C-alpha cells in the first residue's frame, strides 16, 4: 500500500507563507535540495491542493527560463515528468501528466493509496493537509523549519485540526540553517 508523505516548509513562527502570500523565503541549499531530490525518488507521484497546484504549474513548466538556481534546474524536469494529482472542487482538468480528483476526498485518497507504485508526496499547502490529517490519511509528516519569522496567518494545519499524536523518527539540519522534523503517525 502506498503512503502519503506530507512535506511542508514553515517559518520559525509556523507559517507556510508571509502575510501577503509570499513564498520567497525558503532557501534551498545543496543539502536541502539533495533531501528534496531523495523524496522525489521515493515518491512516484506528487499531490497538491488547488492553490499549491496553481503556484507549481505556474512556475515549474518554464523554470529554466525564470531561474538559474541549481535546485530549480534539477527539479524542473523531474516535476514535468512525474505524475501528479490535484484535489479540487473547482478544477476539472490539468496539464502536465496530472489527474484531478473532485469527489469524495477519503474515497479518492484510499483508492490512490491502493494503487501500485511508489508513495505520494503531498507538497505544501494547509487546507488539504488539514483535511487529510483529520481523516487519518497522512502517514508521514516532514516539516522543514526555516530561520525566518513571517508573521503570516496560514499554518500547515488549519484551525480546528483535531489533536494528533505523532512519533518523531528523524531530525536533521540542512546547510546549517533549515531543520527537518520527520514524524510518523503514532
At residue 4, the pLDDT reads: 97
**pLDDT number for residue 127:** 87
Q: What is the pLDDT of residue 163?
A: 84
Residue 22 banded pLDDT, cuts 50, 70, 90: very high
pLDDT value at position 60?
Answer: 96
* Residue 49: pLDDT over 90: yes
Given pLDDT bands bounded at 50, 70 and 90, which one contains residue 181? very high
pLDDT tens column, 64-123: 999 999 999 999 999 999 999 999 999 999 999 999 999 999 999 999 999 999 999 999
Set out the domains of the chain in order of their start, with CATH numbers.
4-185 (3.40.430.10)
Placement of cell 527560463 in the chain: 65
With beta carbons less than 8 A apart as the criterion, state whether 128 and 87 touch: yes
pLDDT in tens, 123-134: 987 889 989 999
DSSP structure string for the chain:
---EEEEEEEETTS-SS-TT---------HHHHHHHHHHHHHEEEEEEEHHHHHHHHHHGGGHHHH---HHHHHHHHHHHHS-EEEE-SS----TTTEEEE-S-HHHHHHHHHHSSSSEEEEES-SHHHHHHHHTT---EEEEEEES-----S--SS-TTPPP--EEEEEEEEETTTEEEEEEEE-
Residue 10 has what pLDDT?
96
The Cα 133–Cα 76 span in angstroms is 28
What pLDDT, on the 0 to 100 scale, is given for residue 70? 95
Contact status, residue 16 vs residue 125, Cβ threshold 8 Å: yes
What is residue 159's predicted lDDT score, i.e. its pLDDT?
72
Q: Which three cell numbers stand for residue 29?
A: 541549499
Q: Enter the pTM of the model.
A: 0.94
Report yes or no: 154 and 15 within 8 Å, Cβ to Cβ. Answer: yes
Residue 151 to residue 153: CA distance in whole angstroms: 7
For residue 36, what are the CA distances in angstroms to 7, 110, 164?
A: 9, 25, 25
pLDDT digit string, tens, across residues 143-180: 999 999 999 989 888 777 778 899 999 999 999 999 99
Amino acid at each position: 500500500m502506498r503512503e502519503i508523505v506530507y512535506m511542508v516548509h514553515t517559518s520559525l513562527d509556523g507559517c507556510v507563507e508571509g502575510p501577503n502570500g509570499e513564498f520567497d523565503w525558503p532557501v534551498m541549499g545543496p543539502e536541502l535540495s539533495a533531501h528534496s531530490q531523495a523524496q522525489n525518488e521515493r515518491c512516484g507521484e506528487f499531490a497538491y491542493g488547488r492553490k499549491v497546484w496553481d503556484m507549481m504549474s505556474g512556475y515549474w513548466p518554464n523554470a529554466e527560463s525564470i531561474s538559474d538556481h541549481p535546485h530549480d534546474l534539477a527539479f524542473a524536469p523531474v516535476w514535468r515528468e512525474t505524475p501528479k494529482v490535484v484535489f479540487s472542487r473547482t478544477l476539472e482538468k490539468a496539464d502536465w501528466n496530472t489527474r484531478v480528483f473532485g469527489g469524495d476526498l477519503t474515497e479518492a485518497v484510499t483508492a490512490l493509496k491502493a494503487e501500485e507504485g511508489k508513495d505520494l508526496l503531498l507538497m505544501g499547502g494547509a487546507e488539504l493537509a488539514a483535511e487529510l490529517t483529520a481523516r487519518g490519511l497522512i502517514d508521514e509528516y516532514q516539516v522543514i523549519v526555516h530561520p525566518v519569522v513571517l508573521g503570516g496567518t496560514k499554518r500547515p494545519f488549519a484551525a480546528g485540526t483535531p489533536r494528533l499524536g505523532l512519533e518523531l523518527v528523524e531530525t536533521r539540519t540542512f546547510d546549517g540553517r533549515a531543520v527537518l522534523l520527520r514524524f510518523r503517525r503514532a
